[in-house]
A and B are shown apart, each in its own frame.
Chain A
Amino acid sequence: MSDTKQNHQGLDPEVAEKLQKQASDLAENVNAGNYAKAMTLINELSEVRDQSLYREVGRLTRSLHEAIRNFQIDPRNAEQKEVLSKMSDASDRLAYVVQMTSQAANRTMDLVEESMPVAHAMRDEAVALRDEWQRLRRREMEPAEFRELYGRIDKFFAGLTTDSDSLYQNLSEILLAQDFQDLTGQVIQKVTALVKEVEDNLLGLVVMASHVDQLTGTVHQIEEKEESAEKGVGPQIKADEREDVVSGQDDVDDLLSSLGF
């Protein structure tokens, strides 16, 4: 890369020397009134310029090919095949993350849905027993009713033990279901590193291509493609730093009420 930068800024020493010599020859001949010779020199000068231009383009084209090779997207040789598989490996890895997170979410929700009715039933029975208990304390209870309450409290205590055991068990399984974070975290870090590597190579390629464009005077017309807000663009990253994005529900509510909602 530093090689091309140098090329771009200055000419080859050899070419520069030739240019200087021709320029001073030209000045001498013009001063001496030798115009025919001066014209020939001017032609030679432009030839030198063209040649150095061709050489520069050639060099950049080689660098461009080099950069494309570094990018390794040609599956024809073994080394490049490996990188290609690194890419598809990255999508496999991300698919694995989706699978793991969805598994964990479903496992957690299974356990929560299992626990909620248990907690509910415990509460309902406790409320019912408390009412009965108040009646007993107010001495409004017949002996037969009291005997029934006696048995019911016994059963409640027994049930309380097994129910709280199962709730505890479910909670600790929910805790364990969060272990995906460690695994998916590692996978995502690996993929992030690969994306960074690809980005660097791609950037080199873009810089190189722009040098070639400059030398050859090529102008590309690239239409800017905007993401379709109507289709949806997904979650916004770094929402606090952006003006066009709400930072939370309060922001949404403010915006909607400013519209008369």
Chain B
Amino acid sequence: MKILIVDDFSTMRRIIKNLLRDLGFTNTDEADDGNTALPMLRSGKYDFLVTDWNMPGMSGFDLLKAVRADENLKNLPVLMVTAEAKRDQIVAAAQAGVNGYVVKPFTAAVLKEKIEKIFERIQ
């Protein structure tokens, strides 16, 4: 299971990386915005994408839309982990095809629950 973590803050990437490791996912890569993430996703055979929303360059929302529009990536499970908390935004993310939505600040238990739920649905 290869996972790409996208967040503009290195501390947040590190926290998510640590939590994923505790859940048994040790094969993770990092990117700091959508522009760096997209080429990695296209060439890297990732199984799961965890992304922030608000980032300089390409936002996580645009990244989500780009992933869904890409023939090879459209089925990639995407979990949004973000401070964006407007109802409209959550609805928009759902409509754009996000698989899970976690608002910051979050707990390890919430992250675990959402990830497990996503994998449950895929299998």
Interface stretch of the complex, out of B23-31, B38-46, B90-98: B90-98
How many chain B residues sit at the interface, stated as a range, is 20 to 34
**Smallest beta-carbon distance A103→chain B, Å:** 10
Residues of B close to A113: CB separation below 8 A? 18
Determine which of A230, A233, A236 lies in contact with B92 in the assembled complex, contact meaning CB atoms within 8 Å.
Answer: A230
Residues of A close to B62: CB separation below 8 A? 230
Establish whether residues A236 and B90, one from each chain, have CB atoms under 8 Å apart when the complex forms: no
Establish whether residues B86 and A245, one from each chain, have CB atoms under 8 Å apart when the complex forms: yes
In the bound assembly, the distance between CA atoms of A259 and B87 in angstroms comes to: 12
Residues of A close to B9: CB separation below 8 A? 102
Q: Does any Cβ of B come within 8 Å of A219's Cβ?
A: no
Determine which of B55, B86, B102, B103 lies in contact with A229 in the assembled complex, contact meaning CB atoms within 8 Å.
Answer: B86
Establish whether residues B54 and A230, one from each chain, have CB atoms under 8 Å apart when the complex forms: no
In the bound assembly, the distance between CA atoms of A234 and B86 in angstroms comes to: 10
CB within 8 Å of A: which of B80-113?
A: 82-92, 94, 101-104, 106, 110
Interface stretch of the complex, out of A47-55, A157-165, A177-185, A246-254: A246-254
Q: Does any Cβ of B come within 8 Å of A255's Cβ?
A: yes
Establish whether residues A232 and B84, one from each chain, have CB atoms under 8 Å apart when the complex forms: yes
The tally of CB-CB contacts under 8 A between chains A and B is 78
Determine which of A112, A235, A249 lies in contact with B106 in the assembled complex, contact meaning CB atoms within 8 Å.
Answer: A249
Establish whether residues B55 and A246, one from each chain, have CB atoms under 8 Å apart when the complex forms: no
Contact with A along B57-70 (1 / 0, CB 8 A): 00111100000000
In the bound assembly, the distance between CA atoms of A244 and B84 in angstroms comes to: 12
Q: Does any Cβ of A come within 8 Å of B11's Cβ?
A: yes
Chain B residue with minimal CB distance to A255?
Answer: B90
From B10, B53, B83, B84, name the one whose CB has the most chain A CB atoms within 10 angstroms: B84
In the bound assembly, the distance between CA atoms of A171 and B118 in angstroms comes to: 35
How many chain A residues sit at the interface, stated as a range, is 20 to 34
Residues of A close to B11: CB separation below 8 A? 102, 105-106, 109
In the bound assembly, the distance between CA atoms of A23 and B47 in angstroms comes to: 88
Establish whether residues A109 and B14, one from each chain, have CB atoms under 8 Å apart when the complex forms: yes
Residues of A close to B101: CB separation below 8 A? 252, 256
Establish whether residues A255 and B87, one from each chain, have CB atoms under 8 Å apart when the complex forms: yes
In the bound assembly, the distance between CA atoms of A236 and B87 in angstroms comes to: 11
Establish whether residues B18 and A245, one from each chain, have CB atoms under 8 Å apart when the complex forms: no
CB within 8 Å of B: which of A182-239?
A: 229-236, 239
